Homo-oligomer: A and B are copies of this chain.
């Protein structure tokens, strides 16, 4: 049994090679550039953890984990284009460093490469893994579309927002765990519980991420606090406030979002506090976290095998940064 950190290191070593030929240079060099920017490799590591929950890690899980990480990076390259983001992890995004055409095509070929890795696994699991991979990939695209739709939409309900987060972020975490479990020979019931664990943990994590962006300690959070507020980003906090605010508070919120005064962050936070957003957010996060833990509990394997996932869950959710 390995901890999340152990497996993350193992995967990173495995992943650290060029996945592409050298030519055409303008197609593949941008892929290599982007992949070496790095990241925590959370999703592929979840795949290995999902496997090891049930059995020793099979090489197929490394193939799938590689596919998942390539898929994730494909979405980042294309999302950065859609968001016109110039930096990621302090490095230039692909369309900024090269150009939009190169980012478009390099992203495409990264997605196809993901399917090449999927096709390396044992034939007996191929159809099942490919189906889950396809469904998940489609859902991630749907989530990205909803996220863009919401930007231009006046009214977004909390449920719509949760659905978007689920599609854009959580399903990939859940599917990564489940694919590992499939390779580990898990029963369908256990697979489903593990999927639900990932799905709910992902939503809890996003609730916390929204919370920390507003109320986090800037030093621990590692990025500017209030960024979402400045951009009028629809978050758990904003959507809930708009739902529970008085007519007067709602009017002030809309004015602040429209006028962008210099004290905007401070003023919006004041309204959030008046609306009791902090407590509400903590409770909502706890609700999803508890649901996640219950599903982990319900998986029919000895509890000692669950330790790495339990530790990861607490690590992700208790973080202040």
Contacts and interface: CB of A to CB of B under 8 A. Distances in A.
A118 B100 CA distance: 29
B105 A82 contact: yes
A134 B112 contact: yes
Contacts of A26: 145, 148-149
Contacts of A115: 115, 130, 134
A186 interface: no
Interface string A1-40: 0000000000000000000000010110000000000000
Contacts of A100: 81, 100
A96 B319 CA distance: 45
A59 interface: no
Interface stretch (A136-144, A292-300, A309-317): A136-144
A225 interface: no
A123 interface: yes
Interface string A123-157: 10011001100100110011011101100000000
A130 B141 contact: no
Given A108-B111, A130-B115, A134-B116, A145 B82 contact: no
B126 A127 contact: yes
A191 B109 CA distance: 26
A113 interface: yes
A119 B141 contact: no
Contact of A109 (B116, B130, B138, B148): B138
A101 interface: yes
A100 to B, nearest CB: 8
A119 B130 contact: yes
Contacts of A148: 26, 101, 105
A78 interface: yes
A164 B22 CA distance: 16
A76 interface: no
A102 to B, nearest CB: 8
A117 to B, nearest CB: 10
B105 A141 contact: yes
A104 interface: yes
Nearest to A133: B115
Interface centre among A118, A130, A141 (most CB of B within 10 A): A141
A111 B24 CA distance: 22
A149 B108 contact: no
Nearest to A126: B126
Interface string A80-111: 01100000000000000000110011011101
A64 B145 CA distance: 27
A202 B107 CA distance: 27
B101 A82 contact: yes
Contact of A145 (B24, B116, B118, B144): B24
